[in-house]
Amino acid sequence: MDISSKKLPVILIIVLVGVLILQFMTNDNSKPMIDPETCELYIVDSQINSKTYLDEFNTKCLDFLKLIPKHILMNSILNV
């Protein structure tokens, strides 16, 4: 297949769309997420849409929370 072929862009678009669909299909929704207020890790139960906390904390998030004054943090959370 020649690089100047008119079929090449169509084939590339189809391949890229296929890769994108594959990524969405294999996306793991049960990966741990971080609670922005407490930095605690949790997972969301997709059947009942509730949080299950894992009693583990993200150290980078905790370090970040130490840098921000509490009143600024609470105002930013409440305004969202």
Interatomic CA distance for residues 29 and 22, integer angstroms = 14
Interatomic CA distance for residues 77 and 80, integer angstroms = 6
Tell me whether residue 71 is in a domain.
yes
Work out whether the CA dihedral 65, 67, 68, 69 comes out positive or negative.
positive
Is residue 46 within 8 Å of residue 35, measured between CB atoms? no
Interatomic CA distance for residues 25 and 19, integer angstroms = 10
Tell me whether residue 4 is in a domain.
no
pLDDT score for 25: 81
Report the domain count for the chain: 1
Tell me whether residue 45 is in a domain.
yes
Residues pairing with 34 in the sheet: 41
Q: Provide the domain limits for residue 60.
A: 23-78
- Tell me the pLDDT band of 75, cut-offs 50, 70 and 90: low
Tell me whether residue 17 is in a domain.
no
- Tell me the pLDDT band of 80, cut-offs 50, 70 and 90: very low
Tell me whether residue 54 is in a domain.
yes
Tell me whether residue 14 is in a domain.
no
Tell me whether residue 15 is in a domain.
no
- pLDDT tens, residue by residue, 8-62: 889 999 999 999 998 888 776 667 888 888 888 988 877 787 888 888 888 888 8
